[in-house]
Chain A
Amino acid sequence: MRLADFFKSKSLRKPSPFQALISYILLIFWAFVVLFPLYWLLITSFKLPFQVNDGPFYLPFVDFKPSLHAWEYIFVTVWNDTARPLVNTIIVALSSSVLALILGGTAAYGLSRFEYRPRVWGIVAFIGFMLLAIVGVVRFGLPWPIVAGVTLSLFILSLIPIIRKTKRSVGNNDIAFWLISQRILPPVAVVIPIYILFQQMGLLDTRAALIITYTVVNLPIVVWLMRDYFENIPLELEESAKVDGASPYRVFWSIVLPLAAPGLVATFLFVLVFAWNEYLLALFLSSAKAQTMPLLVAAQNATRGPQWWYMSVLIWVMIAPVIVLAVILERYISRGLLVGAVKG
């Protein structure tokens, strides 16, 4: 090989050896940046306190003798303290993801297959009556069932002239945009009323509160991702099924869902990760009983000080399942996100 060949690439995507070398250096550097924190976390979990405090030791078996002491402490000694948040997190993440998938999936299907034309003035009337109801309850302290009943019936009555007289309406894209744009809302802007609501209902610090809230927070992501999956499924199959007399539900259940299964799985795992890692809402809505893993990890410093060895174990317990998911799902994630990004 001549020296010039070393710097010259044969095709555009096939780099020359020199370029390949530079690329590998950069890639390995970033891989180091990504992996080193995880590595450090892992070896710290096998260290004894003095091995952490006496300065950095890098290599197990060479620099220090790994010990299972921290793992044993978390999984045996204080297992009761660890188990509850872990169980909470699993239950909350799974059930909220399933709920979000059911609600969001059907909504996304509806938005990709049916035509919706809600009247603008109908929406205005709804918001108006809702404001009236809130003012009635909050400002004037009227009993809420009466207010809800009265405003609801007034709203339904007002729909009749609205449907007869007005024409202006919004379309599917507007509804989808509205649903997806809920992501823009900072959670902290809605969590305080939710906090008060759950407090009044006695739901604070329960799994139910977290499940409900996480479902709502993740719903826009499901709609966003699943709408594209459904839109990419060819219509022919559904149409032939409809001709054969299948109801829309049957079409959705037996034809569309199996076809969309990969998308459903990817979306499910995606929102599962979000729910698994959620911190702020749990911080507001739970304290002891419904404590989730992110809260437990975050609370470590407060209760015991920086005992890195225990913390590392807990963090690994949290991230190990997610890392496994990421490795399996790399393809789905990029595809799912791209579809949304290009359209969104």
Chain B
Amino acid sequence: MAPNSPPTFAEKLREWSDKAAGTIFLLPSIIVVLFLAIFPLIISLYLSLSRVKFEQGGVKIEFIGFSNYAKLFIGSQQSHFLGVIQVLSWVEWLILAIAMLIFIFFAYQYWHNQARKVPSFIGYAFAYGLGTLISFYIFFRWPIAAKLNSVLAALGLNQLSSARLILFLLFVVAFILLITWLKRRDGAAVGLIYRFISFQLLFILLWLALSNMVSGTRASAQLALSEVSPVTSLKLNFKEDRPVGNMRISLLSGENTLISLYSDKDDLYVSQIPEDKKLRLRYRSDTWYALEVKIDQERGLFEILIDDRSWEKDLPLLLSNQSIDSLKLSSRQAEMGNFYINDIRLDDKALSTDLNQWQINQGGQSSISVTQLEKVEGASLVIRDASGAGRPGTLVVTLAYVLVGIALQYVIGLSLALLTTQKLTGRRFFRVIFLLPMMITPVGVAYTFRMLADTSKGPFKPLWEAVGLGNFSWAESAWSARWAVMIGDIWQWTPFMFIILLAAVEGLPDELFEAAHVDGASRWQIFLNITLPQLIPVSATVILIRMIEAFKIVDLPNVLTNGGPGTATESLTLHSFFTWRALDLGGSAAIAYILMLLSLFFGMTYANLIHAKLGR
């Protein structure tokens, strides 16, 4: 080719493509992530502020402001999402006070390290406290919110609490502007306020967890069904004009539970149902037997026979202008396991969206009927009234999975890593074995643990019987079911901690240890003073990675316990999934967004306050 001839098109193209190589390498990934992660994320935010309906030929999205969120925090989903919040006793207040002191100590330590004085610390703390109080006042009490609500209503945005949230967000924006202004003048103060915010959120979560755990007063009564009649119908009347608290009704045959019903606060009122509406009943059953559900009303009875384990059935509503005050459940099979009514919906509006709320209340008198078609020897009805007791919602349950799971996984993983780095024959064999659970599909893990935990035909039956728990069903009690999920999670994810810590321990230089060993340090001293400090950076990172992943837990609780009993083992992802399946896409997106913010908050707080410090 002549050196001076103009470049051909192919050469130009080649030159251009060589120049653009960097972009060509990177751009496809960026575009894919933008369109299938960032784009959907933004749309998800919009969906969480909307009501989504599937219609013929498309989706109808109606903007409704913050009501999906309001529903979770203060509305009908509150006891599902936040749990049942109870008044704290002095023990819990003491724990909170101690936590507060620890928080203040850490904040002050930071302030002290910045070589700042006490009075300014108190000043900032006071200002922050005041700011918090004002924001709470704006959120909960400010009458202007109501006025703004009516303005919003005029604009067609008449949703509960939108105004409060908008005011609150305005306040937050003002606060952020204040901080940016401060940052130019005083960087340390910004760090302090950031810590205050993190601590405050942690404090609120701690308060929530504690108030969920309040045990309350429990009362129980037992009635042998055979005393009443072969086909038993039992009516419980609550004369008092008070909400019936957490209630559990179990139909027992001997020691085996035939039917368990759970109910929570009576925020379910069914009244004034127009004639053309349909009542939808969703149910869940641990077993696959056919079920017959009868719903008894003052003026009618509707029956439903469900042959398969299905999720929703529409019931014809026979009744108008009449509230349902009695719900009758009957089973064809004597042995039918747990039975929960998930929720009762009127068209698509949830009358009670909480899975285990089914208490139907009318004029201070509630009645629950449990009918047994076949006579079962020794059947009895146990009624437990646990009003005053708290119950963790999906938020606290998810946090428990994450925090307990990570702590135990780390301790076990580190011990195993230290054990297998010793010069022992066969350590490679152990390493490969210990790695296995991580690779196994979580669904498989869940079923395997279900099989193992079976007290009547599982491998540990002799063990259960030896300790007198032969008839104990772990899936029945909330905490044992939660532990089953956590044990499965620990079994599966300890290998992840193990494998990374193992490589880190192996990478430690031998010289230090040998020197310490020659100097006569004990193994324990060596571990505490040499090994552990050197492992801290890797530990901090591996905990961060696990934390991010752990917030997504869904497979185990869904398959192992199906979120039950009641909602006891539901994680946030599962909550979101159930909401989605109930065709409440907006609500589902709202839960997903809260989960994302929660995991971001924990990730950021951990990364900024702990990881940065330890990793240094």
Contacts and interface: CB of A to CB of B under 8 A. Distances in A.
Interface stretch (A9-17, A68-76, A155-163, A258-266): A9-17
B443 A194 contact: no
A300 to B, nearest CB: 8
A33 B437 CA distance: 10
Q: 8 smallest A-B Cβ distances: which pairs?
A: A114-B22, A110-B25, A248-B21, A107-B29, A193-B40, A305-B288, A193-B43, A338-B503
Nearest to B431: A330
A319 interface: yes
A319 B500 contact: no
Given A30-B416, A319-B441, A337-B499, A107 B28 contact: yes
A116 to B, nearest CB: 7
B309 interface: yes
Nearest to B288: A305
B416 A40 contact: no
A83 interface: no
A73 B599 CA distance: 44
- Chain A interface SS verdict (over half): helix
A24 B424 contact: yes
Contact of A27 (B18, B46, B420, B436): B420
Contacts of B459: 36, 40, 56, 58
B595 A186 contact: yes
A301 B288 contact: yes
Interface in A88-146: 103-104, 106-107, 109-111, 113-116, 130-131, 134, 138-139
Nearest to A111: B26
B33 A219 contact: yes
23 contacts: A37-B449, A40-B459, A41-B448, A104-B29, A114-B25, A116-B22, A138-B43, A184-B596, A184-B600, A188-B577, A200-B58, A216-B33, A219-B33, A279-B555, A294-B444, A301-B559, A308-B451, A319-B441, A326-B436, A334-B500, A338-B499, A338-B504, A342-B504
A337 to B, nearest CB: 5
B33 A188 contact: no
Contacts of B448: 37-38, 40-41, 315
A120 to B, nearest CB: 15
Interface stretch (B102-110, B256-264, B297-305, B534-542): B534-542
A297 B447 contact: yes
B367 interface: no
Given A56-B457, A184-B600, A326 B43 contact: no
A203 interface: no
A338 B498 CA distance: 11
Interface residues of A, number: 113
B452 to A, nearest CB: 6
B576 A194 contact: no
B46, B440, B449, B555 — which one has the most chain A CB atoms within 10 A of its CB?
Answer: B440
Given A130-B39, A277-B442, A342-B538, A327 B29 contact: no
A110 B22 contact: yes
A17 to B, nearest CB: 11
B28 A106 contact: yes
A40 B458 CA distance: 9
Interface in A27-52: 27, 30-31, 33-38, 40-41, 44, 52
B480 interface: no
A55 B513 CA distance: 52
Nearest to A189: B592
Interface string B440-483: 11111101111110001111111000000000000000000000
Which bracket fits the contact residues of B?
Answer: 35 or more
Nearest to A31: B433
A183 to B, nearest CB: 6
Contacts of B456: 55
B36 A106 contact: no
A276 interface: yes
A54 B457 contact: yes
Contacts of A64: none
Contacts of B36: 190, 194, 212-213, 216
Contacts of B37: 182, 185, 190, 216
A224 to B, nearest CB: 10
Nearest to B460: A56
A306 B441 CA distance: 18
B383 interface: no
A188, A319, A325 — which one has the most chain B CB atoms within 10 A of its CB?
Answer: A188
- Chain B interface SS verdict (over half): helix
Nearest to B540: A341
A103 B61 CA distance: 34
Contact of B424 (A23, A188, A312, A319): A23
Nearest to A293: B441
Given A193-B47, A341-B545, A107 B25 contact: yes
A150 interface: no
B278 interface: no
B32 A192 contact: no
A20 interface: yes
A206 to B, nearest CB: 15
A322 interface: yes
B419 A11 contact: no
A154 interface: no
B30 interface: yes
Contacts of B442: 277, 279, 294
Contacts of A301: 288, 447, 559
Given A188-B576, A301-B288, A306-B450, A175 B26 contact: yes
Given A186-B595, A280-B552, 17 more contacts: A11-B517, A13-B422, A34-B491, A36-B459, A37-B448, A40-B452, A52-B457, A134-B46, A138-B43, A185-B596, A186-B573, A189-B593, A189-B596, A200-B59, A216-B33, A248-B22, A280-B577
Interface in A271-287: 273, 276-277, 279-280, 283-284
A26 interface: yes
A192 B580 contact: yes
Given A14-B423, A34-B434, A294 B545 contact: no
Contacts of A53: 457
Nearest to B440: A319
A257 interface: no
A3 interface: no
Interface string B544-555: 010011011011
